[in-house]
Structure 1
């Protein structure tokens, strides 16, 4: 072990341990320095692997035991596992880098032990062991040689893929409908419906006509089933009204936890219509301090259910932001950000879309909230996708998720305000790349708004950012944008025109 102390010292203290260890190994075990030519580097380094894999008993403190006599337990480890976690990872990384100078079978044995047999292995050490195993393991493709891919006539008798004997007997019968289908013509006739119109009630034909009466498209779709939601019963209405009153009169976090359990129980009882039940309970009336409890506790293992996660968001958070006229509280924004970081799709459809489509247009406070969600919760590709849907698709109420009682606050088209242009500027600054069709639509809205916001500094800042970030996509609109910018009157006008001229 003494001969390996300098190498272990490198792993303990060096800032670049792999490089220094490789140089030390090369200088210490170079074949030319050995007096006996039969001694190779791999033979010399075998003792290092033996040291690392040497079985060792280590004392482990059992913190779960209350008895002082059983606090210390002895367990068997590899000697490598008794080293600090960072040193383990460095040694395994070094072995991966210098694997050619070590015995491949021993390296594979070491990596397998760290991956499959060892306990309490640090994440980085396990990752380094995985890399080592990938480097030294051999793939065996000899099994391919037993396959004859050139001949279709050679078959394996009695193989798994061979048809059973009873199916062969049925298939050989003269009255079978298909040679591989064990059903006769008589059986087929008895199973077929007697009338071609017998199942007409299960069919729905959709016909779209244009103004002159000609059919533009005819499509036939099979209705697999009808899911009808039962009307809200009197008992559910009473429970919802009771929960509504409890939300308005919450006094402590403990009461909030009990309330959330009751809300979840009632919603799951009416799972097919949970959004209607939430609309009756009105959870958006809860104070902001309770919102984190509502958002976290209502999930309860249903994190992957897009419908439920969206219903939670649009019934608790969305109504608060739709009427936001002052800066949102920190606890509300933080809880919303934490929720949206996990549930991206729900954040887009149940919060961002309806907020941007606010009938009165977004204000500065709403713009700030959306900007934080975009920057902290969504990937730039996700932002580009929802911008395309927002800008390029026609008016569509199915574009967003919203409670019926709040649909009067949302419309199907964008209302262009200064904060909305400011929001798109923030999106560009987040390194979001829009598609050409999205840019074309944004140019169209910009041209329509140029005269209305001719003296707006926020609009001018948006134009400057728009031209700077999307210059290559604006070449076809260069002339129209120059005319629109020329109609503005701000100290940024000349700068915008200069940028347009350079694209």
Structure 2
């Protein structure tokens, strides 16, 4: 266990540990290869994570605590589990696919409540490694005879018919080998499994967001005393005197919303903190970042009342001070950033423009792991209306739609996502193909649309082979300097 402490320390203290963890793991390989100590390998790391551990839990139905057996990874804090699973996805080619599949399935099928992002990370890991990969399996010294081996009653038939793989079917061995039917069937089965798991993964968080939405939409009378305090606070917060005084006002806002019995959304609507200048906003955001409040509710209210209204009406590049403060806050409160900032911004009624696209791109790139971005895209593109719940103040709901508005800047955003090496899921890719087909004539001369298509067919090529003819027809409706490059790329499918 001691040999793994430096690596686990990285997952505990580094918010983006992939590169450093890879380097540390390689160092461990080099150190143990020339010594007589217990070897450090990828398999031994997975074995450590899946090592059974006995933990004591309080049973609500019993007066005495009970002991149950869980994997070692499940004894770690939720955010550490998420980082480890994301690292395994990042470095999955260095591990045996079966080991990672087993770990991901055990995490998803474990008893008790599992953190939302842990489940997301486990689902993305399972999605990435569960496809058939014969090269990776062949590298293993000992392969159990499962689906790769023929049953005994077929072996004699195969040996006696050299040209025909299955004597009763008109298909040759070479023709069968050239197809990817095994991968396709396995992927469809995994899709069914993941869709079932997805319903349970989303349930808890959607209930929390729904509860916040109810609080947001209802009109609760405010006591006169609290209303007077909110109006007074609004007048003081608009006049920036010093960072110290503004920090004090932030503390008053928190007390008024959370400790004095006032309805938070109504109080924030009276204070109107989004009308402050960017310097005041940055001080408020920084001060709120130091608080240890509820993981979703209060941080969401801060983002949707202080930052979101400023960005919804953004027509010029956002100020450096506003973006920097927002980024630091979103790194700490990632869930709130998704529901109270990213979703309502992308669902802007008029569609996003270039300045908004730039802000969203930075948040996705610097605040969320690529696996989380992939899950976010799936929710945005393929989720039902109730799955795209967002959080905002009632006075700003008219600026936000329930459907995506496709603009050139939105295509640029998805291009930026692809260039960030985010692996989109199959259903996300299928939805984008559908939208591209509908919008090709409208954006026929748009270079941004063309650049997105070029990046799309390059980054998602393995998932687009079945759409080849449709994409060729679609690209034929465009006329930009990259049209020939896109068609040339499609010809290689």
Question: Could you state the TM-score of these two structures normalised by the residue count of structure 2?
Answer: 0.55
2:69 matched residue in structure 1: none
1:404 matched residue in structure 2: 394
Q: Structure 1 or 2: larger helix share?
A: 2
2:473 matched residue in structure 1: 483
CA deviation profile, 1:145-177 (whole Å, cap 9, x unmatched) = xxxxxxxxxxxxxxx99xxxxxxxxxxxxxxxx
SS in 2 for 1:317: helix
Take 1:390 and 1:272, find their aligned partners in 2: how far apart are those partners? 33
Take 2:380 and 2:32, find their aligned partners in 1: how far apart are those partners? 53
237-246 vs 315-324, greater mean Cα deviation: 237-246
Preserved contact between residue 440 and residue 478 of structure 2 (Cα < 8 Å): yes
Structure 2, unaligned stretches of length 5 or more? 1-26, 38-47, 49-64, 67-213
1:130 matched residue in structure 2: none
2:346 matched residue in structure 1: 356
Instruction: Verify: 1:492 aligned to 2:448, yes or no.
Output: no
Instruction: Verify: 1:455 aligned to 2:462, yes or no.
Output: no
Instruction: Verify: 1:465 aligned to 2:455, yes or no.
Output: yes
Instruction: Verify: 1:444 aligned to 2:434, yes or no.
Output: yes
SS in 2 for 1:250: coil
Take 2:491 and 2:309, find their aligned partners in 1: how far apart are those partners? 45
1:101-120 alignment, distance < 5 Å? none
Aligned match for 1:347, one of 327, 334, 337:
337
CA deviation profile, 1:239-281 (whole Å, cap 9, x unmatched) = 1111111122222223212211211110113567312211221
1:163-202 alignment, distance < 5 Å? none
1:388 matched residue in structure 2: 378
How many residues are matched?
293
The verdict on how the C-alpha distance between 1:232 and 1:304 changes in structure 2, with shifts beyond 3 A counting, is: closer
Take 2:364 and 2:435, find their aligned partners in 1: how far apart are those partners? 22
1:43-54 alignment, distance < 5 Å? none
Q: Which structure is richer in relative contact order (CA contacts within 8 A, separation 6 or more)? A: 2
1:432 matched residue in structure 2: 422
Aligned match for 1:323, one of 313, 317, 329:
313
The verdict on how the C-alpha distance between 1:99 and 1:257 changes in structure 2, with shifts beyond 3 A counting, is: same
CA deviation profile, 1:394-428 (whole Å, cap 9, x unmatched) = 33486111111100000000000000000000000
SS in 1 for 2:434: helix
SS in 2 for 1:340: helix
The root-mean-square deviation of aligned C-alpha atoms, in Å, is 3.0
Take 1:399 and 1:468, find their aligned partners in 2: how far apart are those partners? 32
How far has the Cα of 1:99 moved from its partner? 6.4
Take 1:398 and 1:235, find their aligned partners in 2: how far apart are those partners? 37
2:235 matched residue in structure 1: 245
2:192 matched residue in structure 1: none
Preserved contact between residue 397 and residue 412 of structure 1 (Cα < 8 Å): no
Preserved contact between residue 339 and residue 391 of structure 2 (Cα < 8 Å): yes
Preserved contact between residue 241 and residue 281 of structure 1 (Cα < 8 Å): yes
How far has the Cα of 1:386 moved from its partner? 0.6
Take 2:33 and 2:465, find their aligned partners in 1: how far apart are those partners? 51
Preserved contact between residue 392 and residue 437 of structure 1 (Cα < 8 Å): yes
1:370 matched residue in structure 2: 360
How far has the Cα of 1:287 moved from its partner? 1.1
Take 2:261 and 2:444, find their aligned partners in 1: how far apart are those partners? 51
Take 1:255 and 1:464, find their aligned partners in 2: how far apart are those partners? 51
Q: Which has the larger radius of gyration?
A: 1
Preserved contact between residue 380 and residue 388 of structure 2 (Cα < 8 Å): no
Take 1:344 and 1:315, find their aligned partners in 2: how far apart are those partners? 17
Q: Structure 1 or 2: larger strand share?
A: 1
How far has the Cα of 1:463 moved from its partner? 0.3
1:275 matched residue in structure 2: 265
CA deviation profile, 1:181-201 (whole Å, cap 9, x unmatched) = xxxxxxxxxxxxxxxxxxxxx
1:210-225 alignment, distance < 5 Å? none
How far has the Cα of 1:453 moved from its partner? 0.5
The verdict on how the C-alpha distance between 1:271 and 1:478 changes in structure 2, with shifts beyond 3 A counting, is: farther
1:24-173 alignment, distance < 5 Å? 98=35
SS in 1 for 2:490: helix
Preserved contact between residue 317 and residue 355 of structure 2 (Cα < 8 Å): yes
Take 2:31 and 2:417, find their aligned partners in 1: how far apart are those partners? 43
SS in 1 for 2:263: helix
The verdict on how the C-alpha distance between 1:474 and 1:332 changes in structure 2, with shifts beyond 3 A counting, is: same
1:264 matched residue in structure 2: 254
CA deviation profile, 1:18-64 (whole Å, cap 9, x unmatched) = xxxxxxxxxxxxxxxxxxxxxxxxxxxxxxxxxxxxxxxxxxxxxxx
1:220 matched residue in structure 2: none
Take 2:32 and 2:317, find their aligned partners in 1: how far apart are those partners? 56
CA deviation profile, 1:187-233 (whole Å, cap 9, x unmatched) = xxxxxxxxxxxxxxxxxxxxxxxxxxxxxxxxxxxxxxx99985211
Take 1:425 and 1:244, find their aligned partners in 2: how far apart are those partners? 41
How far has the Cα of 1:98 moved from its partner? 4.9
Aligned match for 1:474, one of 456, 464, 473:
464
Structure 1, unaligned stretches of length 5 or more? 1-89, 101-134, 136-159, 162-225
Preserved contact between residue 229 and residue 272 of structure 1 (Cα < 8 Å): no
SS in 1 for 2:385: coil
Take 2:313 and 2:33, find their aligned partners in 1: how far apart are those partners? 59
